[in-house]
Structure 1
Amino acid sequence: MSADMIRLVLADDQHLVRLGLRMLCDSADDVEVVGEASDGHEATRLVAEHRPDVVLMDLRMPRVDGITATRRIAASHPATRVVALTTFDDDDHLYPALAAGAAGFLTKDAPPPDILDAIRRAANDETPFTREILARLVTRALHAHLPPEPRGPSLPPLTSRERDVLAMVGAGLSNREIAEALHVGVTTVKTHVTNLMRKTGCPNRIRLALLAATTGAAPE
């Protein structure tokens, strides 16, 4: 197995959905499915056993639902990134998943390349949300439902390049897209994002995006 192989657990109570996802992941050279779960309890156990990089987590499952499982995994295995995968693209599912610690949110009708891209972005410590979902998060934040960091809406001193990166994070661009736009390496972008999190106190990319919006750093 390559050192760059992404270890993945699939969690969905529908066998046919898991089968389709496994076939999709088996078609990728850099993704290995190390376990399948039909409920949140089993998903949590598999994470403890296999320590995967990413979990694709259905939210509506019997015994233990995906929200509860996500919360447990985020608390006990923070290195494992959970991407919520649901039939329903609505706030009743989005915000609980985010509050539980999900690193991303996709609907099951997402195109297969988008699902693989989300797995890779999650494994790369990015936040796989569609731009439409990110825009909803920002709108909700601006209405104070999900406030930005406790620091308030002011930015600490940033370099001009850090401000550029912050604005692009706020626009929903991936590290690779930012690197291409700024003509720098992906590793350089990762360093800027890490520095931004340290300087602003934002614990993740979602909070950086919200901070960008609420301070005017992100484009309209």
Structure 2
Amino acid sequence: MAPDLLIVDDSDFQRTMIRQAVGDDFTIVGEASNGVEAVEMYENHRPDAITMDIMMPEMDGVEATDRIKSSDNPPTIVMVTSVDQNSKMKQAVKAGADGYVTKPFEPEDIKAELSNVL
């Protein structure tokens, strides 16, 4: 059975790119456009993995990762980040991120990173 995946990014385009890249290998249980939605959707769906943007409105990906990773039996979280967000990426690793992919990415990049950390 395919692992469940929650896609989190404030860009509709990026969510579509991720969905198209991994849709054959994962069951997409939801898509969130900010960290607040991500935490709520995680609590409702308990996916096996999450792709998480860093820079988002309302709650950024670092804080959302920290909140989700503090739950019982947390999911694998792969950050999807722009190259210029190095300091934020270090914060995300401290918050519990399991891996990362740099935007812009090739479909194979995100599939490979999710496979590596799951």
TM over 0.5: yes
Check 1:85–1:91 CA distance in 2 against 1; reply closer, same or farther (3 A cut). same
State the Cα distance separating 1:104 from its structure 2 match: 0.6
- Name the counterpart of 2:54: 59
Code of the residue aligned with 2:108 in structure 1: it is P
Q: Distance in 2 between matches of 1:116 and 1:97?
A: 20
Bigger relative CO (Cα 8 Å, ≥ 6 apart): 2
The answer to whether the aligner puts 1:40 opposite 2:10 as a matched pair is no
Gaps of 5+ in 1: 124-220
For residue 23 of structure 1, what is the amino acid of its counterpart? Q
Deviation, structure 1 residue 42: 0.4
Counterpart residue number, 1:104: 99
1:73 aligns with 2:33: no
Post-superposition offset of 1:88:
2.4
Code of the residue aligned with 2:21 in structure 1: it is: L
Asked whether the 8 Å contact 1:11–1:18 carries over to 2, the reply is yes
Structure whose residues are more often strand by fraction: 2
Distance 1:88 1:35 in 2: 26
Q: Which structure 2 residues correspond to residues 84-163 of structure 1 after superposition, within 5 A? A: 84-88=79-83, 90-123=85-118
TM-score (norm 1): 0.51
Q: How many residues align?
A: 118
Task: Give runs of ≥4 in structure 1 deviating > 3 Å.
Answer: none
Structure 2 match to 1:24: 21
The amino acid that maps onto 1:45 is E
5+ unaligned residues in a row in structure 2: which ranges?
none
Superposed displacement of residue 16, structure 1? 1.0
Q: How far apart, in 2, do the equivalents of 1:43 and 1:50 lie?
A: 10
Q: Does the 8 A contact of 1:6 with 1:54 survive in 2?
A: yes
- Once the two structures are overlaid, the 10-residue window that deviates more, 11-20 or 83-92, is 83-92
Distance 2:103 2:112 in 1: 14
In structure 2, what is the Cα distance between the partners aligned to 1:93 and 1:49? Answer: 27
Identity of aligned residues (%): 36
Cα distance in 2, alignment partners of residues 67 and 19 from structure 1: 22
Q: CA deviation at 1:25?
A: 1.7
Higher-helix-fraction structure: 1
Normalising by structure 2, report the TM-score. Answer: 0.92
Please give the alpha-carbon distance, in whole angstroms, between the structure 2 residues aligned to 1:77 and 1:59.
22
1:172-204 per-residue CA deviation (whole Å, 9 max, x = no partner) reads xxxxxxxxxxxxxxxxxxxxxxxxxxxxxxxxx
